[in-house]
Amino acid sequence: MRIGLDGGCLSNRRGFGRFARSLLEALGRVAGDREFVVFVDRPSLGRVEVPAGFATVAVPVREAPSQAASAEGRRRVPDLLAFSRAAAGAKLDAMVFPSSYSFFPVWDVGRVVVTIFDALPLIYPDLVFPNRRGRLFWTIKERVAVRSAALILTTSEVSRRDLMTHYRLAADRVGLIGAAPDPVFRPTEAGPDSDEALRRYGLRAGERFLLYVGGLSPHKNLVRLMRAFARSAPGGVRLAIVGDFGDVFHTHAPELRAEAERLGVSDRVVFTGFVPDAELVYLYGRAEALVQPSLLEGFGLPPVEAMACGTPVLASTAGSLPEVVGEAGLFFDPTDPDAMAGAMAALLGDRATRNRLAEEALRRSARFTWDLAARQLIDHLDGLGSDPQARVA
């Protein structure tokens, strides 16, 4: 089977890109005799790695999809068509999109598989798109992707149900695929390396802190997180918010800084900006807990990364988080700052509870591997076959 794989989101620094990169790497280990062709935009070619033995097609575009496929919908039609023509000329039995984020129209391809992580833009559009143009572009792209796909993949049962409901899809049109922490995320010992990482991002060795990792978008619910922190966290505890200020998605970093000032906790809330994995592992390892207050998550990679480091999770009950975190965390209603504050207080005030959750976090994280996710994709592809006449329209 000759399988195309969209590499347009490989250089993205958020969860979309991490999923695509990790899945591609795992496919290199489990692909067997299947032939893969990876389509990468030329601007990103020097920043991505394609497994040995996989063919790479460099697609000429004016702007990398990792930048153009933003909340404002800047992607150019000629750039989309450049990808479309490249895929059409590759004689593919199947085309896989690791994320609908960088989807482009396809033709002359046997089957199309698209990963859609959640129904967030359908449920909370005003929190995802800063303007009507971005929302319109996304709506058109997503509906074309859904209609084109023989199979849609998603990363949790909650997302599967949401997508079936919102797009009125039959159960056999939506399958599951896993996600996992990168191997870099593991338990680490306190020492000079971790002390230096803490200092670099405004934290002090030996101090207690809660950690948030992810986007700075409104749906991440960080205003309520800071309000809950201000109410419940002891004076010696700080909050580190790890998020990329240069993100192409809708963010409200200035509002978050203003809220910290209004609450009188600006000296206890640290905005680190983007943190590379080699240093992020130390922040996970030294944190009291990861706090994930999102209004909706399709999977939630930061929680499984934290669990792989032996760090417990304080998580929203929304979306996939209870499904992913299980017994390794404490949960709260994301719309209730008092409930969030109570979860923080319960963990920060009881070392035995924190240690119990940390042990469970390590055990649970072992369930998630990228090789398993790659095998799931292969199984889905084998189940579809390559007959274009069999595609569901």
Mind giving me the DSSP string for 268-336?
TEEEEE---HHHHHHHHHH-SEEEE--S--SS-HHHHHHHHTT--EEEESSTTHHHHHGGGEEEE-TT-
Which tokens sit at 334? 């994301």
Establish how many alpha carbons lie within 13 A of residue 184's alpha carbon, considering only the half-sphere containing its beta carbon: 13
Confidence of residue 393 (pLDDT cuts 50, 70, 90): very low
Residues 6+ apart with CB under 8 A from 88: 106, 107, 108, 109
What mean pLDDT do residues 311-320 have? 96
The residue length of the chain stands at: 393
Identify the CA nearest to 116 among candidates 10, 15, 41. Answer: 15
pLDDT single digits (tens) 341-377: 999 999 999 999 999 999 999 999 999 999 999 999 9
Contact 119, 58 (CB under 8 A): no
Tell me the C-alpha distance between 292 and 214, whole Å: 9
Contacts of 29 (CB under 8 A, 6+ apart): 371, 374
Domain boundaries, the chain: 2-180+369-386, 192-365
Q: How many CA atoms lie within 13 A of 116 on its CB side?
A: 32
* pTM for this prediction: 0.90
| Candidate CATH numbers 2.60.40.1170, 3.40.50.720, 3.40.50.2000, 3.40.50.11740; the one for domain 192-365 | 3.40.50.2000
Distance CA 62, CA 75 (A): 10
Residue 12, judged by CB atoms within 10 A of its CB (0-12, 13-18, 19+), counts as: buried
Q: Do domains 2-180+369-386 and 192-365 have the same CATH topology?
A: yes
Contacts of residue 323, defined as CB under 8 A and 6 or more positions apart, other chains included, come to: 156, 157, 158
Nearest-angstrom CA–CA distance, 176 and 269:
37
pLDDT digits (tens, 9 = 90+) for 148-177: 999 999 999 999 999 999 999 999 999 999
CATH architecture of the domain covering 2-180+369-386: 3-Layer(aba) Sandwich (3.40)
| Res 137: pLDDT | 84
**Model pLDDT for residues 203-257, shown as the tens digit of each residue:** 998 899 999 999 898 999 999 999 999 999 888 999 999 998 765 565 678 899 9
Handedness of CA 257, 275, 7, 323 (dihedral sign): negative
Listed ranges 64-73, 103-112, 188-197, 304-313; the one with the highest mean pLDDT? 304-313
pLDDT tens digit sequence for 30-52: 988 899 999 999 988 888 899 99
Q: Is the pLDDT of residue 73 over 70?
A: no
Instruction: Give the per-residue pLDDT at 4.
Output: 97
The pLDDT of residue 247 is 59
Residue type, 94: A
pLDDT at 390: 43
